[in-house]
Structures are given as C-alpha cells and as structure tokens.
Amino acid sequence: MALARVERVEIIASNLIKDELLVELQEAGLLEIEEIGSNLDLNPGQRPSVSFEALIFRLRQVIRYLSLWRKTKPGEKWLQPRPIINRLEREAILRQDWENLIAPIERLESSYRETESEIKALEKERELLLPWQNLELPLAALESTASVEVLLGRLPRSNLNELVELGKEQPLWFHEINADKRNVYLLFLIKRSALKEIESKLKELNVSFFFLPETILKKAQREETLKNILLQIEAEIKEKEKVLNSIEKQSQELSSLWPQFMIALDVFENEQQRINTYSHLGQTEKTVFLQGWIEANNITRLKHRLARFADHLAIFHRPPQEGEDPPVVLRNPPLIQPFQIITSLYGLPKPGTIDPTVVLAPFFFLFVGLCVSEAGYGLLVALLSLFFMIKVRPKGSTLLFSRLMFALGLSTIILGTLVGGWFGFPIRQLLLIDPLTQPVNFLILALILGFIQVWFGTLLKAIDCWRRERNMARSLAQIGWLILLPSIVLYGLRKIDLFGYFSLFGASLIVTFSKTKGNPLLRFLGGLYSLYDISKYLGDVLSYSRLLALGLSTSVIAMVVNTLVGTAVKIPIIGWVAAPFVFLGGHLFNLAISFLGGFVHSMRLQFVEFFTKFYEAGGKPLKPFSLQGKYVEFR
Amino acid sequence: MEMGLVLAFSGAAAAAILAGIGSAIGVGLAGQAASGVMSEDPEKFGSLLLLVALPGTQGIYGFLSAFLVILKLGVTGGPIAEVNLHQGWQIFVACLPIALAGLISGIHQGKVCASGVYMVAKQPKEMTKPLILGALVETYAVLGLLITILLLNGIKL
C-alpha cells in the first residue's frame, strides 16, 4: 500500500575520485552500499592506510573517565537539543590536535588510579600494624639475637592459660601487648636451643605469628617504634588524599571538555565507518565499482549530488530483479507516519507486500484511547510530548515516537471524554457510555471494533491473494469468510432468513475453495474442516474485550485516588498538605501503568489478532550510508 | 446477614491478596533478573523498568476488584449494605476469577519478563518484543478481571 519503490544502483567511477565520491555519498546519506559479492570476481577495494581505531578507543576511555566527574543537571540528557555539526566544523575537528588534548587526561587518569591504589596499600599496612601500636620498642629491639628469638604472635584468648603453663615448663617468656575480644597480642622471647619444639607447641595453641611487612621494614628507621611508624603512615595517607583531591578537582574542571570529546568521537567513528566502506567496493586497475539500494524518489537527488563528478563516473539504476532481496522503506502521509513505529516493531513487510501502517493507524489510535480512557492523562501526555518536541527538537525515530505519543494523547483526550472522565470525574453531558454503570455496552463497543478489525484483516488477505499471488481460489475462500462472518452474526441477532442464506453462501465458498489440491472428496472434507476456523475468529474478536477491562481499570483507579484524596483532606492540618501529593502521585502512577498497559495491549491486538490475518514480515530496512551521530546531529 | 458480609469481605480480600501475591512474585522474578543485567550495564535501567513493572498489573487488577466490592458494599462511607448468605457467596465467587488468574498469570508473566530481561541484555534494540510476550500471558488476568467486573455488576444487593 505504501511501500516506497526501491531501486538498484550501480556506480562505476575512476580511481581518481573514489575518496571524494565516498565523502559525498556519506554526506548525501541516500544510498545503501552493499558489499560486492564473490560472483563479480572483483578484488575488494583497498582501505586507506590511515585508521582511527586507536584514537576512537582512547577517546572512549577519556570520555568514560570524564563522565565520572561530570556534574549534570537532572534531565539534561533528555532535555538538551543535540549539538549540530556541519561540514566545516567536522573538518576542523579532524584537523585538531587531539593527542594534545587526550594525553593530559590519560595521564591524569593513570595518576588518579595510581594514587588510589597507593592509598589502599597504605590503609592495609595501617590495619596490619594497628593491634601492635602499644609495643613501645624500637624496631632494632625486635631483632633476634644469637641465643634468643624475638617473635610477635596472636593467640586466641581461650588458650591463654595453656600458654602460661607452657611458659613454666619451657624457656619461653611472653608479654601481653594488646588484647581484643577474641585474641591477645603477645611478644615472645624464646631460647633458640628450644625454638623448634616451642614453636610447634605454640602452633598447637593456635598462635599465628606476625612478621612486619617488607614495605614497612624498608622505609622505617631501626630506632623507630611501631607507634611512630603508624603515625607516619597516617600522615602519608593524608598526603596522598590531598593529591587525590587535587586530581579530582582537576578532573572536574576538565570534565567541561566532555561534550567536545563526545563530538569528536562521533566525527571519528563516522570517518572510520567510511574507511571501512572501502572494502565494500570492487576494485579494478583504473576504476572502482559500487552497488547498492536507493529509494526511487531519491535517484535524481543522488545524481544531482554527484553531478560534479560527471566526467569520472557512470550511474546505472534499475528496479530490483527476481531473486534479489531489496530493502524496504515505509512511506506514509505525515498523519500516519508515527504509526510506522508499530509496524517496524513487529518487523518490516517483505518487499512487494502490503504496508499495514495505514490500516493499523486508526485502530491503534482508537484502542489506546479506549484502554487509557482518561482525558486528563491524555492532556498531560499530549502536552509533555509537545513540550519535548519544541524544546529538544528531536530528529528521526525520537521525533516519530514523540509524534506518536502526541497522537495517542489526543486520542485519550477524545475517548476519555466520551467513555471515561477527567482525573476520575466524568463529564456526564459528554459521556457516550459510562463504563462503570454500563459495562455491557462498552463490551459490545469493544467487540464491534474487534469484529471490524478482524474482518478488515481478512479483506486485506483476500486482496493480497488476488493481487500478488494471482490465486483466485484462495481469494474466493477469504471472500467466503468476509460474507459468512457478518451475516452469521446478524442472523444470530435478528433471525432474518436472508442473512441465513448469505451465511450458507459464504460457507459454501469456504468449503469449495479452501483446499485446492488433492482429489475432490478430500478437498470437500478439507473445506468442511476449514469451517472450524470460525472458532479462531470468535477467539480473536473476544480478545478485544480487554479494551473494556483496561479502560475500566483506569477509571476505577482514578476514582480510588480521588477517594483517597477525599479521606486525606479529612485529617486535620496534615490533610491539606498531604492531599495534593496523594492526588498527584496517585494519578501519575495510574497514568504510567495505564499507558504502559494500553500501549502494550493495543500493540498485541495489532500483532496477534490483526497481522496474523494477512501480514508477512521479513523485510530489512534500507540503511543508507550516511553520517550518523549518537551525540551530535550532522548537517 | 453477618455471614453474607463476611463472605463478601473474604472475596474482596482474596482478590487483593492472591493477585497481589502473583504480582509480587512476578515482579520479584523480573526484578532479580534486571538487577543481574544492570550489574554489568547500569545504563539499561530505563529499558528494563517496563519489563519489571509489567507483571505488576495483576496486583492492581486484584486491588481494583476488591475496591469495586468495597464500593458495592458501601464500606467507604454511609451505612454498609445488607448482604444475605446467597449474595455473600455470589460476591465471593465473583472475585475468584481475578484472584486465581491473577495469582498464576502473575507468576508466569514474571518468568516470561525475566527471560525478556535477559533478551534485552543481549539484544538491546529488541525492547518491545519481550513486552508483547509478557502481555500474551497477562491476557488471562485481563479476562479474569473482565469476568469479575461483569459478575459483580450483575449482583443485585
């Protein structure tokens, strides 16, 4: 219905202009370049010797480091328009000396990490020494002599008595230095002649010996006490923390460069993208060959952009041939366009089939409105998306999504007024159906809408069978359903014979044409069996009853919130303060869950009940070779 | 009369409790999965939040059904309606569809959403597909809610 025509493009260009050609093609952003297949027997093009991959990697590292220090206002990520970069600015960025900008930050980061780990090491030393800080002996005194071994050790408190016993029997002297809940910290003097025996006995008592770490022994003087050493370590930690602080401050200052690096990253990534594209080209001695896909409407624009190379290249274009698998582009009028999102979420249509967006749009519009059915919430969503579009000026899919939300907001305002209310208060004069008192009427409305959509899906299938497959029989079977479904419903409701005859006619079409292969008897039986599909149709239509349930749940919760506000107001003094919060919080919560539910369930109705009737996904999107910014927008 | 009111209250309580349990387990499952994914990639919070929130609807449906009973009985204000034993049973049974469908579907939707979370972890662009799969499970809670509402609507006090 609204699939844009896509054509095959082939370009042969002189080697002289291939660099400029790729620059131009990337800026134009019209043509998807396809890798040349092996069937053409051409060598893939040589990439230029420059590569930005290392630079891109470093830029990413720097960005990650700076974003640790960057202070952002809440919402800044979403509410700030993207910077716009034109060709001149891009070239300036490419020429800039990035080495000089990146290197200092890299140095800063490595000294930050280094200082951090030094502090950690010092803190660990401090922790080790802390239990021994009362040992008021210089280090030199802890050195063992020829006849006496000096040791430090920790003993579980419960074994202290046994140690005392051991001290009486053996040449062992000990002194308590410190104690905590579980352990006592001891200085042992042991006669060297009995060292082995005593050591093993001590180990039996669960003594764990402590030896001063190498790092401390190295930097400490022999006259110093452990207390002194601890003080030094603490001073050192303070010193390092000061350094760390100053690095942090510098980093915070430098984090103002963050946007600049983000822009550079985008620019260089696109540059690298172009360099990678060289290998998609086919190379001959004097020329390059490239092939790809383009939306047919854009061919003149492409030719226009390449006009200045006219002497050096030839462009050919043709419709896709049998066996080729062209990408697809959805083209719809501006009002319908936002609903393309829903189609794309399911998967783009196969080339040459129907674009379901046009037929899906009105139903989806209605369904979300019915599911949310709260005009106040619709107004909020519409205003928010409008504000977002004006303030941020999004492009591409973000813009499309904002427009979709705006449309759904409008739908909710309309349907909320007709079948719901404004923040839980229905406007009785405008109410078509009050879902709370007349749920059955609402249910009937939902089922009628469902019936129409399912019928419509079948109609599209009939058209598709005829148009694309030229399969008259399959088409007639679908037409049988188109006649049977409404007439059997009407017959059931009104018992008018005419509708009965129509139903029989429809059923006979289904029986005759549903199966077109095999012998007549099997075909007849198969056709009869196809009639059983009516249960599927029934199930599909009943599935639309969810519109009632979801619509009703929004209204009831809105009412509950208002009741709670009413209760809150009755509390003296605090009530008046709390009430607005209850009102706001409750309604915002309801808004969030009802839009989530409304969106997801309406989408499911499209995908499961509607699309299964006629739709074939499996197309791949056209991805033109272009400048693509994650952070910036390229002009 | 007293017994009728007790039954009606039990119905409302069952709807809120059972559907609430279903959602609590469901959101719990999805939430655990999401925390696991975010430990690798904290940026994903926004895109995972919807998947974690989705199994929460059953609890809301149960709450809503309970509230409809409360409204029907006039508990919020004024005199409480007279409920005989038959009406009490009617209200109790009317609450069962959302209570039980909510309990079971909440748990299973939680499982579907949890695996959806893993899917988003590997395929960040496929955010809506797991949502739709979750909604497929939720359908039965929605249908349960629908029947509860229609039944409650049909009970004359």
| Cross-chain Cβ contact B61/A553 below 8 Å | yes
Mean pLDDT for A309-325 is 88
Residue B125 tokens, joined: 């662009």
Q: Which residues pair with B1 in a beta bridge?
A: none
Q: Which one of B61, B128, B152 would you mutate to disrupt binding with A, by most A Cβ within 10 Å of its Cβ?
A: B128
Percent of chain A with pLDDT over 70: 100
Say yes or no to pLDDT of A516 above 80: no
Domain ranges, ordered by start, for chain B? 2-154
The answer to whether A427 faces chain B, any CB pair under 8 Å, is no
Residue A436 tokens, joined: 């709370």
According to the model, what pLDDT value does residue A374 have? Answer: 92
| Cross-chain Cβ contact A596/B53 below 8 Å | yes
According to the model, what pLDDT value does residue B32 have? Answer: 94
Q: How many CB atoms lie within 10 A of CB B147?
A: 16
Say yes or no to pLDDT of B96 above 90: yes
Give the type of residue at B57. T
Give the type of residue at A121. A
Pairing mode, strands A282-283 and A43-44 = antiparallel
Chain A residues with CB-CB distance to B60 below 8 A? 553, 557, 593
Mean pLDDT for A285-298 is 90
Mean pLDDT for A331-351 is 89
Q: What is the mean pLDDT of chain A?
A: 88
pLDDT tens, A366-386? 999 999 999 999 999 999 999
From-to residues of CATH 3.30.70.2750 in chain A: 137-224
Say yes or no to pLDDT of B1 above 60: no
Q: How many CB pairs under 8 A join A and B?
A: 64
Q: A243-247, A463-467, A502-506, B90-94: lowest mean pLDDT where?
A: A463-467
The answer to whether B22 faces chain A, any CB pair under 8 Å, is no
Give me the residues of B, 41-60, that contact A with CB < 8 A.
50, 53-54, 56-57, 60
CA distances in angstroms from A495 to A482, A487, A605, B93, listed in the order given: 19, 10, 31, 35
The answer to whether residues A482 and A513 touch, using CB atoms and an 8 Å cutoff, is: no
Say yes or no to pLDDT of A1 above 60: no
The answer to whether A440 faces chain B, any CB pair under 8 Å, is yes
CA distances in angstroms from A630 to A31, A215, A254, A267, A607, listed in the order given: 20, 49, 22, 10, 30
According to the model, what pLDDT value does residue A612 have? Answer: 87
| Cross-chain Cβ contact B132/A560 below 8 Å | no
The answer to whether B139 faces chain A, any CB pair under 8 Å, is yes
Q: Which one of A560, A561, A609 would you mutate to disrupt binding with B, by most B Cβ within 10 Å of its Cβ?
A: A560
Helical residues (DSSP H) of A468-496, grouped into ranges:
472-494
The torsion of the CA quartet A518, A524, A527, A529, rounded to 10 degrees, works out to -110
pLDDT tens, B79-94? 888 889 999 999 999 9
Q: Which fold has domain A137-224?
A: Alpha-Beta Plaits (3.30.70)
According to the model, what pLDDT value does residue A171 have? Answer: 84
| Cross-chain Cβ contact A601/B54 below 8 Å | no
pLDDT tens, A393-437? 888 888 999 999 999 999 999 999 999 889 988 888 888 888 878
Q: State how far the Cα of B89 lies from the Cα of B92, in Å rounded to an integer.
A: 5
Q: Which fold has domain B2-154?
A: Four Helix Bundle (Hemerythrin (Met), subunit A) (1.20.120)
pLDDT tens, B12-58? 999 999 999 999 999 999 999 999 998 988 878 877 888 888 898 89
Q: Which residues pair with A317 in a beta bridge?
A: A9
Phi, psi of B79 (to 5 degrees): -75, 145
According to the model, what pLDDT value does residue A539 have? Answer: 86
CA distances in angstroms from A334 to A147, A357, A390, A391, A403, listed in the order given: 98, 12, 18, 21, 10
Chain A residues with CB-CB distance to B149 below 8 A? 439, 548-549, 552
The CATH class, in words, for A1-38+281-327 is alpha beta
According to the model, what pLDDT value does residue A68 have? Answer: 87
Closest Cα of chain A to B81: distance in Å? 18
**Cβ neighbours of residue B32 closer than 8 Å, sequence gap 6 or more:** B114
Say yes or no to pLDDT of A136 above 70: yes
Closest Cα of chain A to B132: distance in Å? 6
The answer to whether A590 faces chain B, any CB pair under 8 Å, is no
Q: A109-113, A141-145, A420-424: lowest mean pLDDT where?
A: A141-145
The answer to whether A557 faces chain B, any CB pair under 8 Å, is yes
According to the model, what pLDDT value does residue A398 have? Answer: 87
According to the model, what pLDDT value does residue B68 have? Answer: 86
The answer to whether A563 faces chain B, any CB pair under 8 Å, is yes
From-to residues of CATH 3.30.70.120 in chain A: 1-38+281-327
According to the model, what pLDDT value does residue A599 have? Answer: 92
Closest Cα of chain A to B64: distance in Å? 7
The answer to whether residues A354 and A592 touch, using CB atoms and an 8 Å cutoff, is: no
Say yes or no to pLDDT of A2 above 70: no
Phi, psi of A37 (to 5 degrees): -75, 170
User: CA nearest A460: which of A289, A561, A588, A611?
Assistant: A611
Q: What is the mean pLDDT of chain B?
A: 89
Chain A residues with CB-CB distance to B148 below 8 A? none
So what's the ipTM on this one?
0.77
| Cross-chain Cβ contact B145/A549 below 8 Å | yes
